């Protein structure tokens, strides 16, 4: 009896195992239909192609990089890197030749040398010539530069102890050989500080007002120790304080327009005017 039961169970187990094997084989067959196997030879060829492409890209990048470096080195030592065009802008009193001489920048210099040392060249130019207030050097092309100049305006000249000085808008004095057509500063012998202060004040004025000044004379008194007298080209005379004249002279056009005759405008304390010879002061 036990042998019969064992035989029955063995038969059932064999039948289940057979069914499982059939199911597994069917599933494997269905999977093979969905995604057929790629031949190993094709895989190897694909890997080789990708490797060739990757190596080719690396070689191409290196060739381009070294070509650029080589061309740049050739450009640096070739005449193509020399300045052929130099533009100078912003200069009024200074000539282009003066700017070139003071900056040591001129056609024929290597452009890369100028650009790399531009800060040092600018400092040297400002030290050489006080008329140069600031400079800016820009590369505008493979062979062209632009120098932008901001000047200390040249106001006029002063003779101090038989030496002639150019008077600049920031109060600096620069030795010069001759007078120009600007403002003539008189009676400032032994008073360079007063001259510098007066020049700084007048340097604030708009060119339209400043260009109307013929001369400035330092004439202090006990009551007004900083008095200067300004003689205008239109015939008027201004009394002012050298410490405040730059601000008060801004009102000159309006005051002059309100005067019926030429006369004196007193800007030392307040602001009022009267005709020449008038006793109403």
Class of domain 81-151: alpha beta
In this prediction, residue 2 has a pLDDT band, given cuts at 50, 70 and 90, of very low
Burial annotation 8-38 (CB, 10 A radius, 16+ → b, else e): eeeeeeeeeeeeeeeeeeeeeeeeeeeeeee
Lowest mean pLDDT among 51-55, 155-159, 240-244: 51-55
Q: What is the largest CA-CA distance in the chain?
A: 160
The CA distance from 116 to 10, in Å, is 96
Q: What is the pLDDT of residues 137-189, one digit of tens each?
A: 999 988 899 999 999 999 999 988 888 899 999 999 988 887 677 899 999 99
| % of the chain with per-residue pLDDT over 70 | 75
CATH of domain 154-275: 3.40.50.10960
């Amino acid at each position: 009896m036990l042998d019969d039961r064992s035989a029955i169970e063995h038969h059932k187990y064999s039948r289940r195992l057979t069914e499982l094997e059939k199911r597994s084989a069917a599933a494997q067959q269905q999977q093979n239909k969905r995604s057929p196997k790629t031949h190993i030879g094709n895989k190897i060829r694909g890997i080789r192609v990708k490797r060739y492409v990757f190596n080719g890209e690396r070689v191409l990048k290196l060739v381009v990089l070294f070509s650029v470096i080589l061309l740049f080195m050739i450009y640096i030592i070739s005449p193509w890197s020399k300045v052929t065009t130099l533009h100078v802008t912003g200069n009024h009193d200074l000539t282009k030749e003066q700017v070139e001489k003071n900056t040591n920048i001129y056609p024929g210099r290597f452009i890369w040398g100028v650009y790399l040392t531009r800060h040092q060249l600018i400092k040297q130019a400002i030290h050489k010539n006080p008329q140069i207030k600031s400079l800016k050097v820009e590369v505008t092309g493979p062979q062209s530069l632009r120098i932008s100049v901001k000047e200390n305006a040249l106001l006029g000249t002063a003779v101090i102890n038989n030496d002639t000085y150019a008077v600049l808008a920031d109060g600096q004095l620069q030795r010069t050989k001759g007078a120009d057509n600007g403002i003539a500063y008189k009676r400032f012998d032994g008073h360079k500080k007063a001259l510098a202060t007066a020049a700084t004040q007048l340097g604030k004025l708009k060119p339209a007002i400043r260009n109307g000044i013929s001369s400035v004379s330092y004439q202090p008194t006990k009551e007004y120790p900083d008095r200067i007298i300004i003689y205008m080209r239109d015939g008027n005379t201004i009394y002012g304080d050298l410490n405040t004249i730059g601000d008060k002279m801004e009102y000159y056009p309006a005051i002059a327009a309100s005067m019926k005759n030429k006369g004196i405008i007193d800007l030392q304390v307040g602001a009022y005017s009267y005709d020449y010879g008038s006793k109403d002061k």
